[in-house]
Amino acid sequence: MHWALAQHDPECWLADDQTAATAMMALIHHNDESFKPKLDLYKYAVRFPQHSETYYRGQAEPFLADLNVRLSNDGYLLASRYTRADMAIFPFIRQFCNVNPDWFYASKYQHLIQWLDGLIGSALFHRVMQKSAD
C-alpha cells in the first residue's frame, strides 16, 4: 500500500510529517500484529473450541474501543481526513462486523459503526468492490 501511494496519492492518504507517519505505522502495526490474530480467532471460533466466540470477541474489543475513541474526535482515525491507516484497518473492522452484525450494530462503538458505514457506503468502496464482467 505504501509503495502504491508513494507513486500516486490523489486523496493524500500518506502522512504529512514524520510524527504522523510514525503514528500511522504504529496503528497499522497494532492492527496487523495484535488485532488480526484475535479477529481470526473470533471469525473461526468453531475451529478453536478452547473458548467461546464471545470470549474471542472480548479479546478483540480493546482495539475497537481505542478506534472508537479516536473516531470520536473528528470521524477519522488519525487526522481530519481519511489516511492510509483508515484504509488499511477498514477491511479488518468490516470482517469483524460481519461475524455477528447484530451484535456489532447494537454495540457501544457508535463512532466505529458510523465510520464503517461511511466507508461501506462510499463511492470508492463501490468502485473497488464492483464485480468484473468477465
CATH of the domain at 81: 1.20.1050.10
- pLDDT value at position 18? 73
**pLDDT-based confidence at 16, cuts 50/70/90?**
low
* Residue 94 within a domain: yes
For 37, phi then psi, to 5°, come to -60, -35
* Residue 11 within a domain: no
Question: Alpha helices of the chain — where are they, by DSSP H?
Answer: 2-7, 18-30, 36-43, 53-74, 84-99, 101-106, 110-120, 123-128
Domain extent, residue 94, equals 33-121
**pLDDT-based confidence at 133, cuts 50/70/90?**
low
* Residue 57 within a domain: yes
* Residue 23 within a domain: no
The number of folded domains in the chain is 1
**pLDDT digit string (tens) for 72-123?**
999 999 988 888 899 999 999 999 999 999 999 999 999 999 999 999 996 6
* Residue 114 within a domain: yes
* Residue 82 within a domain: yes
For 78, phi then psi, to 5°, come to -130, -10
- pLDDT value at position 75? 94
* Residue 91 within a domain: yes
Cell numbers that stand for 125 in this block: 468502496
- pLDDT value at position 10? 46
* Residue 97 within a domain: yes
**pLDDT digit string (tens) for 35-45?**
999 999 999 99
Average pLDDT over residues 39-52: 98
pTM, two decimals, is 0.86
